[in-house]
Structure 1
Amino acid sequence: MFRRLAVLSFAVLLSACDTNRVNHDFDASRDFGAYRNWSWKEPGLQYRPDDPRIKSDLTEQRIRQAVSDQLDQRGLRQAKPGSKADVSVQTYLIVEDRQQLVSTNYGGGGWGGGPWSRGYWGGGGFNETRSYDYKVATLQIDLLDAKDGKLVWRGSTEQVMNTSQTDPGARDTAIRQTVAKVLEQYPPR
């Protein structure tokens, strides 16, 4: 029973982390209306760490397509091969190991007034602290001015990785939703 409570409290804690808080930053001195087209700054997707267990051509295809679709919806067109783009795009997929400590107090007394308690916290209970390891993935999208190479806009979000997600369609949907959420505030207003 108590073990289920501990697992449940950890699940609630992780679900709170899974809210996809999005961070944005941009150069306010730039005229974002002047940017009309874009191209990939290769490598278009960089992995951190550079781990073959994380790298996937399929993931890269999904991210590239989702970014392309979202930029198109925001009025930026992909530059034709060989032509100069206004903005260069580079993405990062960063995977980090994290750890959460969860403490649970099982039973115990309370402030007592009986002859044996002497006003101290009563005994009989115990604390248990468990460590839970999990992975957090951060997707970062950078837009750089193609003329000077300077970063003009950055958006990122992180979420707990769902290792049980094996359906390619679900992966595609998750990536599309994440990219849309990151680019939601582009262009800045």
Structure 2
Amino acid sequence: MLPRIAICLLALGLAACQGRNPYTAESTSLPAAPAESTAGEVRGVYPAAALDFSSYRNWSWRGLPAGTAALAPEELQEIVADALEQRGLRASTDLSPATLQVSAAARTETRERQVYDDYGSYYGRGRYGSDYGLWGSRPLVRTYREDVVVVRIELFDAASGNAVWSNQAEARSTGSRAERKDAVRTAVQRALGDYPPR
């Protein structure tokens, strides 16, 4: 009797699932922006048009870069200019005016880094066998302070003045002045690593 009731309930459940699905996979596009609105007033409401980064060929400084205590602004200017040159962006001249304006800044920060080691020992007889023994461990955490150089680079459209791209990166900065300059060079390469965006 019980199996017959279960079969009837199962049949009723399957019959109930045969109805029409009220949910459909339809979507409508976003409506056009109102005519009276401007791009500055409703920023972020409507998706921005995709930028064509291939149109940016030449650049100029928006302001002199801010250096750090370990690096003069002129040195940062030279390092950023070399990195932009490697990415196909040339410094502007009278014949080729700038389509991009570049802003760069570097600062030195102190960070703490922790290293975790787990030391332990075994007492007893038959470590891997079925004999008796005792295992104990003690975590050892070491904290190190290190200096890092943080480089921030921003690119602005020269015609509109709007920011089109920005990024920052850091590199550990220790040792002599030459090693600190190499750290700035590494941070600049990391910051420009994903330019142009894909």
Q: Within 1, Cα distance between the matches of 2:73 and 2:146?
A: 22
Cα 1:104–1:93 shift into 2, 3 Å: same
Unaligned runs of 5+ in 2: 1-47
- 1:160 is aligned to 2:172: yes
Cα 1:106–1:93 shift into 2, 3 Å: same
Q: Within 2, Cα distance between the matches of 1:137 and 1:110?
A: 47
TM alignment of 1:39-188, pairs within 5 A: 39-45=60-66, 54-56=68-70, 58-80=71-93, 85-109=98-122, 122-123=135-136, 126-162=138-174, 164-166=175-177, 168=178, 170-188=179-197
TM alignment of 1:24-39, pairs within 5 A: 29-39=50-60
Q: Within 2, Cα distance between the matches of 1:155 and 1:186?
A: 9
TM-score, normalization by structure 1: 0.58
Number of aligned residue pairs: 146
Deviations 1:71-116 (A, max 9, x none): 23434332348x963211011213322212333333333798767x
| Contact 1:108-1:126 at 8 Å conserved across structures | no
Identity of aligned residues (%): 32
Q: Within 2, Cα distance between the matches of 1:133 and 1:109?
A: 33
The higher radius of gyration belongs to 2
Unaligned runs of 5+ in 1: 1-26, 48-53
TM-score, normalization by structure 2: 0.56
| Contact 2:64-2:77 at 8 Å conserved across structures | no
